[in-house]
Chain A
Amino acid sequence: MNESRIPDADDEAVAVEPLALPLDAWHRARGARMVEFAGYLMPVQYEGIIAEHLWTRESAGLFDVSHMGQLGVSSGDDGGKAAALALEALLPGDISALKPGRMRYSLLLAEDGGILDDLMVTCTGRDYAIVVNGATKWDDIGHMREHLPDEITLRHFDEQALLALQGPKAVDALSRLGPVPLHGDGTALAALKFMQADIYDWGGRRLGISRSGYTGEDGFEISVAAEDAAALADALADQPEVKPIGLGARDSLRLEAGLPLYGHDLDEATDPVAAGLAFAISKRRRAEGGFPGAERILALLESGSPRQRVGLALEGRMAAREGALVLAGEREVGLVTSGGFSPSLQHPIAMAYVEAALAAPGTRLELDNRGRRLPATVVPLPFVPHRYYR
């Protein structure tokens, strides 16, 4: 037999030896199978993808996402005003309107409006903290260095690890560790809402915690100094609600949540409107423009995109994978960009780009998966409802 396709592991390959992340030994000691992803050796699974997936939906899963790029954009003593304006030249979000402790999903756009990366940007009150994808971080840094004005400082916090604790019991487990807001006017951990962030002290260690994630569940992402990462991972994994979860389940969880994965569902040839990410183009920016590709993107917002990202529910048990063609009769009408078996729904699901006229929920299509025709129906995204704490 032959594994013809391992989504997420194949097109991230780099020519150099993969690097070890700060928690490499921690993962191995817990029985992780390590694979190369985005230039790093990362845990793909511990006890099994389905068990890890379901555990995260029911309790809390601990993910190591330290491969992601943690960046800082600052502009001296102006409270980040100039940094916000500089970022607005690269992103379609209303960064200036972001209040301290708030974060936004945004897109790094190419001149033609294609998507260079998707990212999270947080206003700290002094500057902006940005988390970008691991596979694209070096390109992102190069792009930002080239396009940000000289008076704007870009930092790469490559000495920081990033852990995600996701699931309905994440708040119980993390609260029990007792992180306290570093600043007197800070937000108590349990009072943080989805897309809010603050700095916490945990036994003399500094944690940057946001209530966010990429599983569709309530949960947190925690930025921690690399040398403190094992202590934090130990303390979290010691909580009865928490198990370590690998990349495999991270992929099936985000797919069920309808969240696009850069390099698969998003790329430079894809615009935000086709991707269903028009919400990332803020109202003020739509009115004013001034972001890369604004002319094209604003026209697409007006006219609608000729193709759209949709969810597909498959009949039967065979999953369609990235690269499968979407057919209406014998006519090729789209392409699957992510697909797999949904552990929560117990049937295969996929995301695909299809012609706009065929994007309505209920539309029946077929997928050509390695020569086999699989019936599929367009369904609304997400496949599994989000359960964010708002």
Chain B
Amino acid sequence: MSDRKPYLVMKQVTKIFRSKRTAYHALDSVDLEVRKGEFVSLIGPSGCGKSTLLNIAAGLISPTEGSVWLDGKPVTGPGRDRGMVFQSHALFPWMTVLENIVFALECGKGGAAGRSEEGGWKEEVARRYLERVQLAHAADKRPHEISGGMKQRVGIARAMAVQPKVFLLDEPFGALDALTRSSLQEELVRIWEQDRRTVLMVTHDIEEAIVLSDTIVVMTSGPRAKVREVLSVDIPRPRDKQALLDIPEYRHMKKELLGMLLPKDSAVST
């Protein structure tokens, strides 16, 4: 289902945060490869630096050592070829839902904000993306007027609107309740199935990782976090959350991941 060739590559990425007195060695020579069209989850104990790694891929943080490559070109800073979805959704509260997406469209090259004839065209495109996350009805609402799940759907629509080569999702459902999270996961799969874009997602939710991913990258706990294991999820799609419970492979994988992520002495049960 995906090309053999690596698409998003992180080579020997090391990150040391230095302040006046202290230095925190967050990541230590991390290697990561994501193939085109692949859905990869990055999972690890909290504080292991998985979000740092994602921010480095986004270009928001520069690595102390190592390099990031996307589609054969080096990543030197933030860019529209990578669509970021933030955990805190990060919608602008002074804009309506629609304006938030139009803003994303306006920022592109030649999209000088405010030109009216083009503005109308962009609004139409923005509405199309809102429809894809089933939020056409909320176009004129402000972010504080809609629920957390809806906000995150807007965040996803905004990332899709710039048509990036790869989606970077930073614990996109982490701040949501369990039911909303489930339905958003399903929605994300539905959207992803439509054109199978490349996705790198940070999560701390084992089930989420198994249900969504082709590949799960497990990190060790920080400091000096590394890649501990790369697991490929061979459960056929579509994956129904309830049906999964009866698949031995799912239970086995969940147990294996729990074993890696829980502290050694605590009991493991599935």
The answer to whether A and B interact is no
By a beta-carbon cutoff of 8 Å, the part of chain A in contact with chain B is: none
